[in-house]
Every structure is written in structure tokens, then in C-alpha cells.
Structure 1
Amino acid sequence: MGGAERNARKRRQQQHQQGKNVVAQARGSAGMADGKRVGLIVGVVVLVAAVVVGGVLWTNASKNETEGQQIPAAQTQFDAPEKREGVVVETGDQDAPTTIDIYADFLCPACGSFYEQFGDQIQQKIDDGSLLVRTHPVPMLMDASDPPGYSLDAANASLLAADEGKFTAFHDSLFQNQPAEGGRGYSDEQLIQLGRDLGIESDAFAQGIRNGKYDDRLKSEFQKTSQNPDLMQEGPRGKGFSTPTVTHQGEIVQLTDNWLDQLTSGNS
């Protein structure tokens, strides 16, 4: 074999080896990339799992935040007369020149916001004798607590508190410490303890909460209320009954910033 042939074969061998090296390097790089991708995917899966678990734990804690708590008693200074008429509670001077009806659910967030915004104004008007308020506790959101039923339990307890002359303080306590819609409400024993903290000691109050004394009457009245065309308003899902609803002389009141002053000054 001549020198030229030997040199040519040597170059071919070197080129072949270089090709093998390139392939090996490429495979190694691909393996590393695959490893990184697998590691990244595993990391993402672990992160998502942690978020899901954390979300579930937070949701459960949020839903059950009322469990075992004592409902703080509202520091309500209120001397106006209160009287239960069926499933309606009248608060204020019977001879007051202006009367309004308020339909509210103790679990309804919009009702909580209503009382936060207008509660003090309403109380001032009752105190000065210019307003009589007829409160209709509405168990509209009976299925919106976990377990279901808090809306009805709270409405029943408020009527029993009215029988004891403690409706306003009981009512304010529940709205000031309102449970989250979709979460756990307050149990019978928590409602009973709130009554005790407000000075209600009668066995009739506790027994009435435990046996749902006014439940049937509340549900029956709500059926009538929800089907009353005079109480229906346009909403996101069409026309229907919603809370809070305020009426004056049978007409629904539009809740502008100064609606109460307009009513009590005779400008309605």
C-alpha cells in the first residue's frame, strides 16, 4: 500500500471517529435536556399539588371559621319598643310618621352591607321617633350554608329574641359577625349562648331554638313573599325577589345615599 493510500485511509478513520464523537455528544446533550425537562415537569407537578392542597386547607378553614367561636354581643344602646307580630318584628314608636318594611336574610352579604351602611341612620330615626321599622327575617338562603339551614335557624332565633325584648341587639350581633355565604353558620348552641350573653335566660328561648319554634311559619311566609309581584325587582337573572328589599307604603324603595332622609322628611 502506497503512502498516499495510507494517508487517505487514516483521514477516513479520523472523520469516522469524529462523526461518532459528535453523535455521542448529541445523545449526551439530549439526555441532559430530557433530564432537565423531566425535572421541570416534576417540579411543576409538585408545585401545583402544593397549591391545590393549600387551597383545600384554606377553603376548609375558611368554611369552618365559625366553629367553636362565641358570637360577640353587639354593644347596642337601644330603648325603643319592640313587638313581634307573627314573623315580623316592629321596632319603634307605633305612632311614628314613617313606616318602612325591611326584608333581610341573616346570611345575605348584601344585607350585611346594607346594615353596615344604613344601620346607624335607621337607629337614629327610630330613636327620635320619626321611624317605625317592620323587619321581616327571610330564610331565603337556607341551602347556602354548610351544613344547610343557618338562614332559617338565625331567623327563628331572632324572633325568639324578639319575644324576650332583645331583637335589635340579637339582630345586630348576627350581622356584625355574619358568617360567610357558603360556609358554616352558627349552631343552635352558639345562638343560645349569644342570647345568654345579651341577658336572655329563659328556657323557652333555648327550647325554641332547638326545636325550631317558628320554622314552619317562616318558611310559609317566605313562600308568599317570594311570589309577591309587588316585591319583585329586575336583577341579573331577571325579575324576582331578592334581599335586602325595603318598602314604604307598599312601594319598593330605591336605596340611594339619602333615601332614608327623603322618606322621613316627606319627600318620597
Structure 2
Amino acid sequence: MGGAQRNARKKRQAQGRGGGSKAVAAARRGDNDRRKVIVGVGVVVVLLAAVIGGVIIYNNQKNTTEGQNIKAIAPDSSQQAATAEFPVTRDGGVVVVGQTDAKVTLDVYEDFLCPICGEFEKTYGADIEKNVAAGSVQVRYHMLPLLNDRSDPPGYSTDSANAGLCAADAGQFPAFHQSLYNDQPEEGSRGWDDQQLAKLGADLGIKDVTFKSCVTSGKYDSLVSTNYEEVSKTPYLQQDLGNGQKGFGTPTVAVGQQVVDTSESNWLDNLVKSAS
């Protein structure tokens, strides 16, 4: 074999080795790319599953009131006797509970969806009722739609306030009021609908045949809205919201034209003592 032939063969061998290396490298790159694609798809699937799971959990939490009944406060004999001792009347969009000659008249401004109102009722509701039954306190309840857009669907604050006025007409406001706070929907979630609110009245013993239509027709919706518009603009009810801003919020308690500081646990006893 001549020199020229040997050189040509070496050149072909070198090219063969180089081509093989390139082919192996290309194959390895292909495998890596496929692994990256597989890993990427796996990450997307996991993320998608997490999102779907989160949506399902959120929807379940948001709709906990759907298909359920509001837990009615079971009136025992002592509660019925205490309630029978004081009148419950409706004065426009306000529910008046207690004797007209009571030493102290509280104006209580609440929203049935307001979580702080719920805490207020759990903390002070029994003391207020005890003083009402004793004849020392009268309460004027203003049920307002402050958080009307904070339920899903919106409107629960108005629906429940209207139902409260209907319950007052039927003489069952105290138990209705307490039941809605004891079984309060979460802010941002589904509220109780009109049928469920009407069912609560029936469970509490309301026999008035007009009660259900009062609730489902939204009989007092406009009255509730008008009351809120007036209350929210009342100067003495404006409170410091921080950052130099003032506004109206719930719960608010007032005696006359003076907002009461309810941060002290004995605020109600102090009011009754000072009025004696």
C-alpha cells in the first residue's frame, strides 16, 4: 500500500471516529431534551392538580351553607319566659327590644355578615338580654347592609336584615337574631338564601303565614338601604379609622349621640349604674 493510500485510509478512519462522536453527542442531547420535556410535563401536571385541588377546596369552603339549615336556637322555658317579659316592635328599619321606661337605651348598629359583630354578640349578647329582661336596658337594633358585596353571591347583608325585620313583625326577633350570629356564614362565602332564612323562622315557631312571603319578596329591602344611607352619614357615628380618616363601621354602640367604648368588659354595667 502506497503512502497516498495509507493517508487516505487514516483520514477516513478519523472522519468515522469524529462522526460517531458527534452522533453519540447528538443522541445524548436528544435524551436530555426528552428528559427535560418529561420533567416539564410532570411539573405542569402537578401544578395543575394543585390548582384544581385548591379550587375544589375553596368552592367547598365557600359553599358550606348550600343545602343546609340554619341552626335554630332552641328556646327553653326560661328563655321563653324572659322574652315574654319585654316587647319587641319594629320602628321603620329599626327593631326595638325592651321596655320603653328602661334606664338605658342602646342603639346597636350591626351587619349579620360582620364577623366582629358576631364576636360582639357572643361576648355581650347574654348580658344585654339579661339587662333587657330586667327592664334596665332597651335596645334599638339597626341591621345594616354594610358588607352587602362581601358575600358570594352579593346581597346576604340585605337579605338577612330584611328577614330580621320580618321576624320582628312576627315577634321572634331575639331568637332569630341570635340564631343568625351563632350560625354565621364567613365573610366572602355564600350566605343563607331567602328560603333558608324563612325556614329558620318556621323552626323558631313563627306561625304568621305572611312571614315567608315577607322574607322571600324582600319586603323591607328598600327600608334597609335607606336606613343604612342615613346612618352611614350621621356625624356622631363617624369614628377614627386610622391615617386621619373617619367613617362608619359595625358594630357600633351608641347612647343618645355618644358612641360607647365597648373595649372594657364592664361597659354595660357601668352604663346601667351611671343611669341609676
Q: Once the two structures are superposed, what CA deviation does each residue of 1:110-142 show, in whole Å capped at 9, x if it has no partner?
A: 212221232223233333443222111112223
Q: Once the two structures are superposed, what CA deviation does each residue of 1:24-71 show, in whole Å capped at 9, x if it has no partner?
A: 332232222211211111111112222222222233333322222111
Comparing 175-184 with 158-167, which one deviates more in the overlay? 175-184
Q: Once the two structures are superposed, what CA deviation does each residue of 1:127-170 show, in whole Å capped at 9, x if it has no partner?
A: 34432221111122233333332211211111111122210100
1:70 aligns with 2:69: yes
Distance change >3 Å, CA 183–CA 99, structure 1 → 2:
same
Aligned to 1:43: 42
Residue 234 of structure 1 and its aligned partner are, at CA, apart by 2.5
1:108-257 to 2 correspondence within 5 Å? 108-235=114-241, 238-257=245-264
Residue 173 of structure 1 and its aligned partner are, at CA, apart by 0.8
Aligned to 2:28: 29
Aligned to 2:113: 107
Residue 9 of structure 1 and its aligned partner are, at CA, apart by 7.6
Residue 21 of structure 1 and its aligned partner are, at CA, apart by 4.0
Comparing 14-23 with 47-56, which one deviates more in the overlay? 14-23
Letter of the 1:64 partner, please give it: N
Comparing 197-206 with 208-217, which one deviates more in the overlay? 208-217
Letter of the 1:34 partner, please give it: D
Residues in 1 aligned to 2:239 and 2:172: alpha-carbon distance in whole angstroms:
32
Residues in 1 aligned to 2:14 and 2:138: alpha-carbon distance in whole angstroms:
102
Any idea what SS the aligned residue of 2:152 has? coil
Comparing 123-132 with 154-163, which one deviates more in the overlay? 123-132
Residues in 2 aligned to 1:26 and 1:193: alpha-carbon distance in whole angstroms:
75
Residues in 2 aligned to 1:21 and 1:261: alpha-carbon distance in whole angstroms:
95
Letter of the 1:239 partner, please give it: K
Letter of the 2:258 partner, please give it: E
Residues in 2 aligned to 1:167 and 1:205: alpha-carbon distance in whole angstroms:
12
Aligned to 1:56: 55
Residue 15 of structure 1 and its aligned partner are, at CA, apart by 5.3
- Give unpaired runs (5+ residues) of structure 1: none
Distance change >3 Å, CA 41–CA 262, structure 1 → 2:
farther
Distance change >3 Å, CA 2–CA 257, structure 1 → 2:
farther
Comparing 32-41 with 109-118, which one deviates more in the overlay? 109-118
Q: Is the 8 A contact 2:108 2:253 kept in 1?
A: yes
- Give unpaired runs (5+ residues) of structure 2: none
Residues in 2 aligned to 1:262 and 1:32: alpha-carbon distance in whole angstroms:
80
Residues in 1 aligned to 2:89 and 2:142: alpha-carbon distance in whole angstroms:
12
Any idea what SS the aligned residue of 1:143 has? helix
Residue 242 of structure 1 and its aligned partner are, at CA, apart by 1.2
Partner of residue 85 from structure 1, selected from 68, 82, 91: 91
Aligned length: 266
Residues in 2 aligned to 1:26 and 1:116: alpha-carbon distance in whole angstroms:
73
Q: Is the 8 A contact 2:74 2:204 kept in 1?
A: no
TM (norm. structure 1) is 0.86
Residue 219 of structure 1 and its aligned partner are, at CA, apart by 1.4
Distance change >3 Å, CA 23–CA 183, structure 1 → 2:
same
User: Cα RMSD (Å) of the superposition?
Assistant: 2.7
Comparing 247-256 with 196-205, which one deviates more in the overlay? 247-256
Distance change >3 Å, CA 10–CA 185, structure 1 → 2:
same
Identical columns (%): 44
